[in-house]
Amino acid sequence: MRGPHNIWRLIRTGATLERTGAMNVVLDAFDAPPALRFVAKALGKPFMWLGYKGDPTMPPATRALTALGPAYIKFGQVLSTRPDVVGDELAVQLRVLQDKLPPFSIERAKQEVESELGLPVDQIFSEFSEPVAAASIAQVHKARLQSTGEEVAVKVLRPGIERAFTKDVDAFYLAARIIEICAPGARRLRPIEVIEHFDGVVQGELDLRLESSAASEFSANTAKDEGFQLPEMKWEYSAQRVMTLGWADGVPMGDNAAIDAIGVDRTKLAERVLQLFLNHALRDGYFHADMHQGNLKVATNGDIIAYDFGIMGHIDEYTRRVYAEILYGFIRKDYKRVAEVHFEAGYVPADKDVDEFARALRAVGEPIFGMDATKISMGRLLNYLFQVTERFGMETRTELILLQRTMVVVEGVARSLDPQMNIWQVASPVVTSYISKSIGPRAALTDLMQTARVLGRFGPRLPALVEAALIKQGNPETPKRPTFWRWIILTALGSAITGAGAIKLAEKLL
């Protein structure tokens, strides 16, 4: 139900930011213009008494987002990885949101485990600790299996979290509708579809059976990745609201002092974080889409350990090729090709000028290559990029939202380890390798073979399908059976269509 209670929810959001003292902190962090400051103050200050008080011991921004609920906390988690956007001070404050939120009681956690697994906790675990980490959706307990003595991590959803998230997301739908009505220019960003996408991601995160499946698939894909570890899934001790995995020993990714203490080179670690993400996204089309510091550890041997697989991203082969070509074009400073790829993929309307778009992209890319990493303002860069997309009528690609958001998060994690890191230089080997394998004569031959394999799988049905198509085009009263040679020609033409899009088309048609 998206009614008056959601208006109330949005009013309380502004009031809470004002009451907790977070309003000025947030506006200053984003360097908000005077007009926006005036509107925010006008909406928040008169209703300040309606805002949530929050925990006075927390910093203002953390206090406000924690009081507002899970969806706001998720937003804060993303911002915590971007000190270059929100500033070092606010980023440190928000990092608390990743895994240091107030936990619920161990007694309630044991009740959830017993209810889900159907056995008393003491029969499953010989040890079951107090919460070792508490995030917006779930908390984690360290335990020891009764049967094997192995140390494990037991993830338990927060009681009532499903209803709390529904309430927050419901208010976001209202905000999206208000944006569409009051700011027609923002409709190209598809705010409703963006919230629908976010809603779907959240619903998947609230079912730990899906997360268990994601962990298993991700583990199979990355088994041979050097310097990367995943905890082992324990299927027999997992259910909808409880998930059990092997225990991951390591220091937090966000603790640079601890990483230095175990002798790990942070420069190489930063490079590996970014390259692993790109490999997973381009090579596999399946990637960890919540790779903030709270979900990463560093083993004593320097390996990266990832966990919390509630949000995973998937992109098809065609989209991967488009994304790789765009990155490759930026790496080579071939802005004309980057522009052409946008047009070929339909990301920019065909009536726009490709040369003008290339020049606009050059204005985005050149400052990145010509300036020291520590002096690049990601906030200003993103603001200009938004202006470019608005000018050329680019619509939000909902299928790429998770990929783009994760790229921002991963880059933030890498830069927190090495502020001097050149992301394009680090990305180049991975993107170049993917391009060489996926675009060109060898890739075309692979596509042709895959298309032929799809057609071959449905070979026995092809004559009937072709006949039905020809009958439909001709006079149904005097159907003409296709000759043998006509069938051969049609089949050959179908096989000659190459590319990931053709393979998908063949599967749909057949």
Q: Which of 170, 225, 290, 447 is catalytic?
A: 290
161: Cβ–Cβ under 8 A, 6 or more apart, which residues? 70, 137, 138, 206
Residue 158, both tokens: 């927060």
297 three-state secondary structure: strand
- Among residues 353, 437, 424, 426, the alpha carbon closest in space to that of 392 is found at 353
Specify burial of residue 10 (Cβ count, 10 A radius: 0-12, 13-18, 19+): middle
The DSSP H or E segment spanning 464 is helix 462-473
Distance CA 216, CA 342 (A): 34
The residues, ordered by sequence, that sit 6+ positions from 173 with a Cβ below 8 Å of its Cβ are: 2, 6, 192, 195
How far apart are the C-alpha atoms of 58 and 94, rounded to whole Å? 10
How far apart (Å, rounded) are the C-alpha atoms in residues 373 and 84?
A: 10
Residue 490: count of CB within 10 angstroms of its CB: 17
CA dihedral 187, 190, 196, 201 (to 10 degrees): -140
Tokens of 379: 């906030």
Of residues 207, 162, 181, the one with CA closest to residue 71: 162
DSSP-assigned states of every residue in 190-257: -HHHHHHHHHHHHHHHT-HHHHHHHHHHHHHHTTT-TTEE-PPB-GGG--SSEEEEE----EETT-HH
Match 């905000």 to its residue by tokens: 175
Which of the 8 DSSP states describes residue 100?
Answer: B
Distance CA 117, CA 236 (A): 9
Helices (H), 47-183: 60-68, 70-79, 83-86, 88-94, 96-99, 106-117, 121-124, 161-182
Active site annotation includes 199: no
Catalytic residue set: 290
